[in-house]
Each structure stands twice: as structure tokens, then as C-alpha cells.
Amino acid sequence: MSCRSCRDSLGLTMASASLAPPPAKSASGAGTGLTIERLTKIYPNGVRANDGISLRVDAGEIFGLLGPNGAGKSTLVQQVIGLLKPTAGSIQLGRFDLVDDPDAARQLCSYLPQAPVPIDALRLREAIELSGLIRTPARRARREDVRRRADELIDALQLREWERMVGTRLSGGVRRLVGFAMAAIQPGALTILDEPTNDVDPLRRRLLWDRVRALSDAGVAVLLVTHNVIEAEKSVDRLAVIDNGRVIAEGTPSSLKSSERGRLRLQVMLAPGVETPPMPGFVERHLRSSHTLLAVIPEAAAADGIEWAQRLLGDGIAEEYALGATTLEDVYIRMTGRVADGDGTG
């Protein structure tokens, strides 16, 4: 579990001041987290997109879904939000059964889809405010509150300069942020974010992750789908690696990396056009992805690794190298057998 109260006492919830305390504390309604049990989805053409997936996202927790293209991540979240109907299994949010009641799903969860949000003719600010209005229960919707919350988000994500611009004129990255704001303005009990940082510039990515953390601090459960292993490592509390419709690993980033304890990652950038050089004996595993060679070596062989890399440099086979701690990406590669999709930056 995560240590929300510790963060609270450090005043880290200042940014989320205007979100009311989570109903989780009142132990009613939808505030006690998402439970998915043995979820299976078989498409009419026979494709088994999800195969017996079980996982749990607590209120106030950021849970990451990691996996290659076609692993079934988007299928999973589409079943949670009610766009798809599961073939088998259950999805429970607090006391609400989301499979039986997709209407409740839409009202209790907010969603940022992978596709661009349809705000072509809407101005940035309009889209966020209107989304807030639509997503807030009728009896408690007040324009001033929505407006204030929209202001907060616009400032926090540094979108002020595009406030009055219509959707068609916004860049892909800004549009993504607007989509995020449209969900975050009234996050519900569960916020589902499908690739939230696609196309977003590095500075604003940090701002976005801050907002996501603010949501979880306010008690919202966050379910995050991402390709970006390196970002995931820094931002999620727990994660699950999904491949071929199944969960193949689950835990906190540290617990997953513990399987790699005692090892280092040697990354070598090869010169264009060269064949993969023969691996010295101390290399436990390696993977070549176009010009990058990723080798995992035991800590004890650090000096040997550097010497080997320097020899490759001298022979003109490599252009540069780096030696460092193993990352989540190495765990990911070991489990899925492939490099994570996406730009890997951040």
C-alpha cells in the first residue's frame, strides 16, 4: 500500500486543495478501489485479448499497466469504462459492479482515451469547463467551482497561452493535456489514463505527472496505461506487466527490479552497419535493437564490462557506451522478450 498520510503531512496536497477529501474515508460508495477478477475478453473473431486478468487498484494509488502493442491494455480499460463487455470475469468499483452497470462506470470513472479528444470546435477553456459541468452531479454543480478548478488545471499545466484557442489549432501534445484536464477536473473515484504523455513535451510531462500525483493524493484511484517504461518507473506506485492478454508480473517498481539485484546494465551504441560482436562470457543476457546493444552483467564484472566496451570503441565497432543500474526496462525486456515501444525518453 502507499503512504498517503506521510505525504499529506509534508504539505504535498496543497496543489490539490480544492478537491474534497475522498469518500474512501467514509467507507461507502465507490471510494474503496477497483477490483478486477479473472477478466477475459474474447473478440468475435476469436482473438483472446484479455485472458483471466486479475488486479486491484486502491483509492489514492497510481497503478500502471505496461506492455507491448497489442498486449490487451486498452481492451482492459475499455471494459472498465463500459465501452466493451467482458466475456467473463468481474469488475468492481467499491460496491458497484461495473460489468452489470456500465452507466455507473461512466459516472464514477473519468477517462482519457488513447485517441485524440473531439474538441475541434471548442476552445481549450470551454472544453475543460464543459467537461467539468457534465461530469459533476447535478445537485452540486456550480459554475464558479468548475471555473476555478479549470483555472487551477490550466495554470498547473501551463496552458494559459492557448486558453482561447479552438481545438483544431492546438498541437497534439497540448490537445493531450486538455484531454487530461477534461478528465482531471472531475476525476470521479477512478481515473483511467490511456497513454497520457503521448506527444507531450518533456517539461509538460513533468507537470502532468505532478497533477496525476495530486489526484492520487486526493484519494482518486488512477489506472494508467503506458508504453513508456522509464516514465512508469518514476511515476507509478504499483504496476502490472501485460503480455498476450495476461499479467506476467505485478508489484512495485522496486520489487520488480529486485529480481535484477546484483546486476548492471551495459548499454552500447554500435556504429552503423556493424554485426553484433561476440558476447564475452560474463554477459548474462543481451538484446540488440537496431543500433543499441543492451547487455546485463553481474556487478562483479563491472570492470571487465568497461574494458570490453572500450575495446569495442577502439576497434570502431561501438560509438559510445554507458554502464548503470538495471532499470525496469531490463525487467520488462526479460519478461516480454522485446524492447518497450515508444521513445523511451522522460
Partner 1 sequence: MDAGAAADGSLAARAEPGAGPSHWLHGYAAMVRWHLLSLRLWAPAATAIEILSGVGMVYGIGLLAPHLSARGALYATTGPAIVALILLGLILGPQLVAQEKMAGRYEYTLTMPVPRSAAAFAWYTVTLLIGLPAAAVTIAAGVVRFGVSLSVSAQLVPALLLGTFAITMLGYALAHAVSKPMATMLITQVLVFVAFGYAPINFPSSQMPHWLVEINRALPFLPMATVVRAGLTRGLVTGVWVSYLVLAAWALGSAWLALRALGRRG
Q: Which residues bind partner 1 (CB under 8 A)?
A: 8, 11, 13-14, 17-23, 26, 28-31, 81-85, 96, 101-104, 106-108, 111, 113, 115-122, 126, 130, 133-142, 145-146, 148-149, 166, 186-189, 218-220
d(CA 312, CA 270): 9
Instruction: Give, in order, the Cα–Cα distances in Å from 254 to each of 39, 73, 230, 258.
Output: 26, 22, 13, 6
Q: Which residues contact 109 (CB under 8 A, 6 or more apart)?
A: 80, 81, 93, 188, 189, 190, 191, 192
Integer Cα distance of 256 and 239 in angstroms: 9
Beta carbon of residue 343, minimum distance to partner 1 (angstroms, whole number): 21
The CA angle 343-165-128, to the nearest 5 degrees, is 75
Q: Which is nearer to partner 1, 171 or 255 (CB)?
A: 171
Q: Which residue blocks in the chain are alpha helix, DSSP H?
A: 4-9, 73-81, 102-108, 124-135, 143-156, 172-184, 202-217, 229-235, 253-257, 302-314, 328-336
Instruction: Compute the C-alpha angle 142/168/197, nearest 5°.
Output: 75
- The CB-of-66 to partner 1 minimum distance in angstroms stands at 22
**Shortest reach from residue 42's CB to partner 1, in Å:** 12
In terms of CB distance, is 83 or 165 closer to partner 1?
83
The count of residues in the chain is: 346
Nearer to partner 1, 182 or 249 (CB): 182
CB of 56 to partner 1, least distance (A): 19
Which CB atom, from 135 or from 265, has the smaller least distance to partner 1? Answer: 135
93 vs 312, beta carbon nearer partner 1: 93
Q: How far is the CB of 64 from partner 1 (least distance, A)?
A: 21
CB 35 to partner 1: min, Å? 17
Closer to partner 1 by Cβ: residue 67 or 113:
113
SS3 336: helix
